[in-house]
Amino acid sequence: MGLHFDVEATTTPTSAERLAEILANPGFGRAFTDHMAVAKWSADEGWYEASVQAYAPLPMDPATQVFHYAQAIFEGFKAYAQPDGTIATFRPEANGARFRRSAARMALPELPVEDFVAAADALIRTDAAWVPTAEGTSLYLRPFMMATEVGLGVRPAREVTFLVIASPSAAYFAGGAKQVTIWLSEDFTRAAPGGTGAAKCAGNYAASLIAQQEAIANGCEQVLFLDAVERRWVEEFGGMNVWFVLDDGTLVTPELTGSILEGITRESIIALAKDLGRDVEERRVDVDEWRKGVDTGRITEVFACGTAAVISSIGALRWHGGEVAMPTETPVADQIRDTLIGIQHGRLPDPHGWLHRIG
């Protein structure tokens, strides 16, 4: 029997006026809904005390393990208002399955996928009024799990908390998709063989922030990480996977090596591109293939993909002492973006059954 998330409604709901204000300009990850889903786990009892309750700060002992040893994972996916007035999430089971894989890597308990989906569904149902309806907007779901046992001994926690919070999200690029400039990180790597690169764990992001800082200092928006061993194979951006478009229309993305995060957007694009009659290659890509391929015309577009921004097309790759600029026409990225967003918003057919209706 799966977990049941009982709803204990907040006694201080957001006013209709304030909610309308938030939904008119939600930004990203700034405003949170009135409730959160919570479940606890202990090594002795397993999962217990599942509920949807008022969104509130968590009282925590300063010696709580997660603060010290970062045994924490998270997920991100979106709920979209559908043309018929219902709400649907995009591939939540895939996020639930990845959450289990991340948990296994970080020695956290594996929450069953049905409980992961049930937690998000219960929260979305409770805060349905928070799902924005304007084109490109969504309700961003952020499930996460952390070690909440108190004590400084270094070992897998015997007490863990799972939560889901939700935040209305604007169309990522208000005013059209602008091309982003990428900083090639030559001094820092994101993930090494045998490390945690394929797990969606909090620590990966902490480790990537210094490279992100360097990118901003050099006028770039995002970082490109190379493999940690040879420092030459393209892995991914700080929080998005990478795609190349070749002059014959083929789509190429780095193959999964264990140090690349298995993006659900990446996987969806592989299926979509095939539906659209395109060849897809998953293989290693040398960063010099990118640099030279643009000059020879072999590479015609590069784009990033992930849940938050869906698809952002890359305008330039910059590094210490050099830069290569990409063409400004991005017909393939535009086609993939329109198709994916069309499916998510229920405007296009959903041949793979990716939408999960919230009853």
Ligand X SMILES: *Cc1c(COP(=O)(O)O)cnc(C)c1O
Q: Does 167 bind ligand X (CB under 6 A)?
A: no
Q: Does 37 bind ligand X (CB under 6 A)?
A: no
Q: Give whichever of 76 and 136 is closer to ligand X, judged by the CB atom.
A: 76
Which segment (5-13, 102-110, 233-241, 313-321) binds ligand X by CB under 6 A? Answer: 233-241
Q: Give whichever of 76 and 346 is closer to ligand X, judged by the CB atom.
A: 76
Using CA atoms in the order 191, 142, 50, 97, what is the torsion angle rounded to 10 degrees? -50
Pick the binder of ligand X from 263, 301, 303, 358 (CB under 6 A).
Answer: 263
Helices and strands per DSSP (H, E), number in the chain: 8, 18
105 with 72: CB under 8 angstroms? no
- Least distance to ligand X from the beta carbon of 308, Å? 7
- Residues 295 to 334: which contact ligand X by CB under 6 A? 306-307
d(CA 126, CA 246): 46
Q: Give whichever of 126 and 265 is closer to ligand X, judged by the CB atom.
A: 265
Q: Does 265 bind ligand X (CB under 6 A)?
A: yes
Which segment (124-132, 239-247, 284-292, 338-346) binds ligand X by CB under 6 A? Answer: 239-247
CB hemisphere CA count around 65 (13 angstroms): 19
Q: Does 239 bind ligand X (CB under 6 A)?
A: yes
Buried b (16+ CB within 10 A) or exposed e, 193-227: eebbbbbbbbbbeebbeebbebbeeeebbbbbbbb
At 186, list the tokens: 């030559």
- Least distance to ligand X from the beta carbon of 171, Å? 16
d(CA 229, CA 108): 28
Q: Does 212 bind ligand X (CB under 6 A)?
A: no
- Least distance to ligand X from the beta carbon of 235, Å? 9
356 with 96: CB under 8 angstroms? no
Q: Does 264 bind ligand X (CB under 6 A)?
A: yes
Which segment (39-47, 55-63, 121-129, 261-269) binds ligand X by CB under 6 A? Answer: 261-269
Pick the binder of ligand X from 240, 272, 273, 358 (CB under 6 A).
Answer: 240
Strands 72-74 and 138-147, how do they pair? Answer: antiparallel
Q: Does 145 bind ligand X (CB under 6 A)?
A: no
- Least distance to ligand X from the beta carbon of 77, Å? 7
Residues 74-113 as x/- pattern, contact with ligand X by CB under 6 A: --x-------------------------------------
Concatenate the DSSP letters of all residues of 250-293 into one string.
-EEEPPP-SSS---HHHHHHHHHHHHTT--EEE---BHHHHHHH
Concatenate the DSSP letters of all residues of 125-163 into one string.
HHTGGGS--STT-EEEEEEEEEE--BS---S--SEEEEE
Q: Give whichever of 35 and 190 is closer to ligand X, judged by the CB atom.
A: 190
Residues of this chain that bind ligand X (CB under 6 A): 76, 200, 236, 239-241, 261, 263-266, 306-307
